[in-house]
Amino acid sequence: MRNSVTFFILCFSMITLGRSSNKINQTTRKNYLDEIIKFHLEDVEKNKYTFDEYLELTKPYGIWDVRPRDGNGVNIGGKIANPGEVSHYHYGIFCAHFKIPQENVYQPVENFLEQVHYKEAIYKESALRYVNQLTSMTMKIVNSNHNIFIAHKRFQRVDDIFFENGEYWKYDIPQNSIYAVSNKRGFLKDISFSKEDKEILKELENLRLYGAVHQNNAVFIIVDGLLNYSYGYMFSPLAPELIRTGPLFNFQVLENIENTGIYFYLSN
């Protein structure tokens, strides 16, 4: 088992060498958050979404993930909010919309974190049990031209393209927007995920995993998430202190599982 992980790390290191992330031109930043929130409120009314459905839509890298994609702060009411705070600002507005009592506002977050800590040993055991499948899938992700794969029960996502209700679509995002979402969608004709994309999505589904993100020199296999929180497994050829994951993955927990080179993580 450890040999297969070691081989994976060596290959991963060679493939990811020299890869860089694209940055949005900071001189043209504009805050579209108000437009996005208005669109989401209208969508809730139109589709009669429940609070639980709202929580599903706003998972990390989900259809309504409002965290700035460049990882920088946003001016909200004269205060610079980091990506996680933007997510919680959005959440606060919808808690008010759904008339969630103030004392219950953070109950979903507390329940989520309690579950992660309670089942942490089980998740680590699962990583060891399915190590070959996880490393094989992760190598496919590293070799892919895409960085985001989401296999949610109501939609699939590969980078900026979504598949939902039998149709492919993507957000029409203004050139100077810092968000991965907008208030407009464009439906796509004569397009489909590639065979390789579908294989990765199917493997995520078979392993009951929410998604995977390739970021810099690390691949995050996301078991599940809530708002700006996520947990799962991290694969990287680098030592933890050398990993530059960016502000969308701030570790609360990062533990090497039995010195295999597979890390269990909890991030916010």
Domain boundaries, the chain: 1-8+29-268
Q: What is the mean pLDDT of residues 247-268?
A: 85
Report the candidate in 33, 25, 39, 109 with the shortest Cα–Cα distance to residue 68: 33
pLDDT band at residue 105 using 50, 70 and 90 as cut-offs: very high
Q: For residue 175, what pLDDT is reported?
A: 87
Q: What is the mean pLDDT of residues 161-168?
A: 96
Q: For residue 237, what pLDDT is reported?
A: 74
Q: Greater confidence, 14 or 120?
A: 120
Residues contacting residue 251 through CB under 8 Å, at least 6 positions apart: 245, 265, 266, 267
Backbone torsions φ then ψ of 160, nearest 5 degrees? -100, 10
The CA-to-CA distance between both ends of the chain, in Å, stands at 30
**How far are the Cα atoms of 23, 37, 209, 235, 262 from residue 265, in angstroms, in the given order?**
25, 30, 14, 10, 10
Q: Specify the range with the lowest mean pLDDT, choosing from 18-22, 68-72, 236-240.
A: 18-22
> Under DSSP, is residue 16 helix (H, G, I), strand (E, B) or coil?
helix
Q: Evaluate if residue 3 carries a pLDDT over 70.
A: no
Q: What is the mean pLDDT of residues 13-18?
A: 41
| Tens-place pLDDT, residues 210-252 | 999 998 788 999 999 999 999 999 998 766 665 656 656 788 8
Q: What is the mean pLDDT of residues 98-118?
A: 95
| Contact call for residues 237 and 224 (beta carbons, < 8 A) | no
Q: Say how many C-beta atoms besides its own lie within 10 A of residue 18's C-beta.
A: 6
Q: For residue 246, what pLDDT is reported?
A: 62
Q: Evaluate if residue 20 carries a pLDDT over 50.
A: no
Return the H-helix or E-strand segment holding 254: strand 251-256
| Tens-place pLDDT, residues 244-254 | 566 567 888 88
| Contact call for residues 88 and 33 (beta carbons, < 8 A) | no
Between helix 120-129 and helix 107-118 the angle, nearest 10°, is: 50
| Contact call for residues 150 and 2 (beta carbons, < 8 A) | no
- Give percent above pLDDT 70 in the chain: 84
Cα 73 to chain centroid distance, Å, stands at 18
Judge if pTM exceeds 0.85. yes
| Contact call for residues 19 and 236 (beta carbons, < 8 A) | no
Quote the CA–CA distance of 117 and 176 in Å, as a whole number. 39
Q: Greater confidence, 238 or 42?
A: 42
> Under DSSP, is residue 236 helix (H, G, I), strand (E, B) or coil?
coil
Quote the CA–CA distance of 130 and 37 in Å, as a whole number. 40
Quote the CA–CA distance of 102 and 111 in Å, as a whole number. 16
| Tens-place pLDDT, residues 111-138 | 999 999 999 999 999 999 999 999 999 9
